[in-house]
Amino acid sequence: MAKVIIEHAEVTRVFDSKGFWAETKFTTRNGDEVLEKWTVWTKDTPSVGDVVTIDGMLSIKMERFTNDQGEEIRYSRGHVNQPRITQEPKGAEAVAQVFDSEPMFDDEAPF
């Protein structure tokens, strides 16, 4: 098994004390929007809507379903076992971490 770190993942569904689904989104160089879906197996589940960082052991499973047109759709889903989950800060706490509360001035700056 490989180790994986998933940052800025939003929790989209929680299973009864077994785990949760999380999603990450990013834009590729050519402008395409990509959505990754992860299944995380843990007894300590965050709440739906929480943004977390997940660090754990990766496995990939092939899954399938039949859509409304009767076509079978196959896809792979990343599964994370033995995760270490870190809650990302929200609201004012998150802003305070990004921006220092004291203004930064340099007396020697030429402008």
The tally of domains found in the chain comes to 1
69-98: buried (b, 16+ CB within 10 Å) or exposed (e) per residue? eeeeeeeeebbbeebebeebeeeeeeeeee
Helices (H), the chain: 91-98
Q: What is the CATH number of the domain that holds 62?
A: 2.40.50
Question: pLDDT tens for residues 26-46?
Answer: 899 999 998 899 999 999 889
Domain span at residue 65 reads 2-98
Question: pLDDT tens for residues 8-18?
Answer: 999 999 998 79
Q: State the average pLDDT for the chain.
A: 85
Angle at 78 between CA 74 and CA 80, to 5 degrees: 150
Task: Measure CA of the first residue to CA of the last residue in the chain; give whole Å.
Answer: 54
Q: In the predicted model, what is the mean pLDDT of residues 92-101?
A: 54
Asked, for residue 103, whether it belongs to a domain, the answer is no
pTM: 0.71
Asked, for residue 37, whether it belongs to a domain, the answer is yes
Q: Which residue has the higher pLDDT, 36 or 103?
A: 36
